Amino acid sequence: MEKPQAILFDAYGTLFDVYSVGLLAEQLFPGQGNALGLLWRDKQIEYSRLVTTSNDGAHYRPFWDLTRSALVYAVKKLVAPAGSVDMADFDARIDRLMNQYRSLSAFPENREVLQDLRARGIVTGILSNGDPAMLNLAVRSAGLAELLDHVISVDPVRKYKTAPEAYALGEQATGLRARQIGFVSCNAWDALAATWYGYQTLWVNRYQVPFEELGTQPTYSGSSLRDVHQFF
User: Which of the residues are catalytic?
Assistant: 10
Measured distance CA(27)–CA(85) in Å, rounded: 12
- The one-letter amino acid at 52: T
Neighbouring residues of 50: CB distance < 8 A, sequence distance ≥ 6: 59
DSSP 29: S
- The one-letter amino acid at 63: F
Per DSSP, what are the bridge partners of residue 182?
7, 200
For 208, list phi and psi in degrees, rounded to 5.
Answer: 55, 60
How would you class 165 by CB atoms within 10 Å of its CB: exposed for 0-12, middle for 13-18, buried for 19 or more? middle
Strands (E) located in 11-144? 123-128
CB 162 within 8 A of CB 57: no
For 200, list phi and psi in degrees, rounded to 5.
Answer: -80, 125
Measured distance CA(204)–CA(225) in Å, rounded: 6
Neighbouring residues of 208: CB distance < 8 A, sequence distance ≥ 6: 223
